């Protein structure tokens, strides 16, 4: 069906200016998945610029595991949207909680409502003969103002690639929805998306069949309860048994094995790095440690070392060691000074903290007060690189998302420390730590260690 047929039958538009929005991402299961609400994701998908978007469910990941070309196609996509309970459960195996399950049959119609408000047009490519046209009519009824630029079936209509590309481009569509099934639709876009003039291209699987009524859609109550897979299995037992039952089990088993292998490998590498660096540091820095202990004792009354309970990986408590930089009654005076904090959020920091001694200001300026934590690293309670260890009272006040920083061992240095330390707001520090916990590797840790020397010399945020 041509563009003019739809324009004659359904002619409405309501242009709205779109804001350019970035999405949060989560590195899960070897994929860079969008980790945001449906509203924010829609805003990002429809923002100015060209992008290719795929949905990833357990079935897709199973195919990706066996099909090298499909794997390359997925790697080239601009946005990967998590779709299905299999991906959600597999993420939880590694403590990665996705913000939303962006099911394509719900997400795309919502996206098209927004696209209609922005005056964008859509081309439907795929499905058996008549399906794209029926899906388009359904969308035009449900989505006031939507402009359908044209349709083309996925059988004879997909046989001639050059003709298909020419028709899609001639339609002037802003959005192209390709429903050729996984992995055919992703491979088609991988090979041809650069030749399409549309700013947004998406692989949408069986969406046209749902819209056209070829496949019954689960009731809203079933979808809200996240049991659509069970309902579809009951409706289509033969076709869906392998995909939704065996497929999910296969995917989650592989995801669990991969998580264990990656975690063991990463943990071993990090522990070796920690042991080597801590042993060398204790030997080379022994004169500095002894001189600092002497200076602290001579400057003020009390022990040279300060021991405090902190929260480690998975919420385990441990005793952290530092050179004492404050007077011995500092903890008793802390509550009275909370209102003077120079830092927003839960963590207390004050540039003019009256509890800090003269030597304390010097050793804080150059982070010498942190050196005894090398002992914590040697004992395995901390790592050289990681989020800063928090106080139990701070962790008790954390918002739920902030608990993600406890997924790895705390460290002496890390992304936050080399980026400005106390000058970084609490919320931004949390995002840095969570991102590090999800993407950490040996090379990143070595780079952060090297960057720490620059941060110490500059003294930015150290007080």
Task: Give the pLDDT mean for 190-217.
Answer: 91
By residue count, the chain amounts to: 463
> Among candidates 342, 369, 368, which has minimal Cα distance to 353?
342
CA distance 322 to 376: 10
Q: How many CA atoms lie within 13 A of 27 on its CB side?
A: 11
> Among candidates 381, 356, 458, 379, which has minimal Cα distance to 417?
458
Per the CB < 8 A criterion, the answer to whether 121 and 149 are in contact is yes
pLDDT at 88: 74
pLDDT at 108: 97
Dihedral, CA of residue 393, residue 94, residue 81 and residue 48, to nearest 10:
50
Task: Write out pLDDT tens, residues 71-89.
Answer: 999 999 999 999 877 777 6
Task: Give the pLDDT mean for 336-354.
Answer: 58
Per the CB < 8 A criterion, the answer to whether 55 and 158 are in contact is no
CA angle 230, 232, 236 (to 5 degrees): 120
Average pLDDT of the chain is 81
Residue 400's contacts (CB-CB under 8 Å, 6 or more residues apart) are: none
Per the CB < 8 A criterion, the answer to whether 208 and 182 are in contact is no
Dihedral, CA of residue 190, residue 191, residue 195 and residue 198, to nearest 10:
-30
Whether the pLDDT of residue 30 is over 70: the answer is: no
Task: Give the pLDDT mean for 102-124.
Answer: 95
Whether the pLDDT of residue 187 is over 80: the answer is: yes
Task: Write out pLDDT tens, residues 285-332.
Answer: 999 999 999 999 998 888 999 899 999 988 899 999 999 988 887 777
CA angle 178, 180, 182 (to 5 degrees): 105
CA distance 3 to 5: 6
> Among candidates 193, 177, 211, 363, which has minimal Cα distance to 288?
363
Domains in the chain, CATH or no CATH each: 3-243 (3.40.50.10700), 285-458 (no CATH)
pLDDT at 13: 32
Residue 2: pLDDT band with limits 50, 70, 90? very low
> Among candidates 118, 113, 111, 109, which has minimal Cα distance to 18?
118
Per the CB < 8 A criterion, the answer to whether 419 and 432 are in contact is yes
pLDDT at 10: 36
Segment (H or E) for 436: helix 426-439
The structure tokens listed for 130 are 């008549």
Q: What percent of the chain has pLDDT over 70?
A: 73
pTM of the model: 0.53
Per the CB < 8 A criterion, the answer to whether 211 and 146 are in contact is no
> Among candidates 102, 118, 85, 94, which has minimal Cα distance to 39?
102
Task: Tell me which residue has tokens 């002496």.
Answer: 412
Task: Give the pLDDT mean for 325-353.
Answer: 64
Residue 112's contacts (CB-CB under 8 Å, 6 or more residues apart) are: 122, 139, 143, 146, 175
Residue predicted with more confidence, 387 or 224: 387
Question: How far, rounded to the nearest angstrom, does the alpha carbon of residue 89 sit from its chain's CA centroid?
Answer: 15
> Among candidates 181, 34, 182, which has minimal Cα distance to 111?
34
Task: Give the pLDDT mean for 174-185.
Answer: 97
Whether the pLDDT of residue 169 is over 60: the answer is: yes
């Amino acid at each position: 069906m041509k563009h003019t047929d739809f324009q004659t039958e359904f002619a409405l538009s309501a242009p709205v200016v779109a804001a350019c929005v970035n999405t949060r991402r989560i590195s899960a299961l070897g994929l860079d998945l969008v980790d945001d609400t449906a509203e924010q994701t829609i805003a990002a998908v429809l923002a100015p610029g060209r992008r290719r978007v795929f949905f990833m469910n357990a079935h897709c990941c199973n195919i990706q595991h066996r099909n090298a070309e499909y794997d390359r196609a997925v790697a080239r996509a601009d946005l990967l949207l998590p779709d299905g309970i299999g991906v959600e459960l597999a993420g939880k195996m590694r403590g990665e909680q996705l913000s939303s399950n962006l099911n394509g049959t719900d997400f795309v119609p919502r996206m098209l409502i927004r696209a209609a408000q922005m005056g964008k047009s859509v081309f439907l490519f795929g499905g058996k003969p008549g399906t794209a046209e029926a899906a388009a009519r359904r969308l035009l009824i449900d989505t006031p103002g939507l402009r359908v630029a044209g349709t083309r079936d996925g059988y004879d209509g997909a046989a001639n690639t050059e003709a298909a590309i020419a028709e899609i481009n001639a339609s002037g569509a802003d959005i192209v929805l390709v429903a050729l099934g996984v992995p055919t639709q992703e491979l088609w876009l991988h090979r041809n998306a650069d030749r399409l003039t549309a700013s947004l291209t998406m692989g949408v699987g069986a969406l046209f069949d749902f819209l056209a009524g070829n496949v019954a859609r689960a009731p809203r109550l079933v979808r809200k309860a996240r049991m659509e897979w069970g309902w579809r299995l009951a409706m289509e037992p033969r076709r869906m048994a392998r995909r939704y039952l065996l497929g999910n089990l296969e995917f989650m088993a592989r995801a669990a094995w991969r998580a264990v292998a990656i975690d063991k490998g990463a943990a071993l590498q990090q522990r070796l790095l920690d042991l080597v660096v801590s042993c060398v540091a204790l030997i080379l820095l022994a004169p500095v440690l002894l001189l600092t202990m002497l200076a602290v004792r001579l400057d003020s009354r009390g022990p040279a070392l300060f021991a405090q309970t902190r929260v480690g990986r998975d919420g385990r408590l441990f005793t952290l060691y530092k050179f004492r930089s404050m007077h011995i009654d500092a903890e008793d005076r802390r509550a009275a000074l909370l209102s003077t904090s120079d830092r927003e959020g839960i963590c207390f920091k004050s540039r003019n903290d009256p509890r800090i001694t003269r030597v304390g200001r010097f050793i804080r300026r150059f982070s010498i007060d942190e050196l005894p934590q090398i002992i914590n690293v040697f004992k395995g309670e901390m790592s050289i690189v990681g989020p800063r260890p928090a106080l139990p009272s701070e962790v008790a006040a954390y918002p739920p998302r902030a608990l993600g920083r406890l997924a790895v061992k705390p460290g002496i240095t890390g992304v936050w420390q080399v980026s400005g330390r106390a000058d970084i707001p609490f919320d931004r520090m949390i995002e840095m730590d969570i991102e590090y916990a999800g993407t950490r590797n040996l090379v990143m840790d070595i780079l952060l260690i090297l960057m720490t020397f620059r941060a110490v010399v500059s003294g930015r945020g150290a007080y």
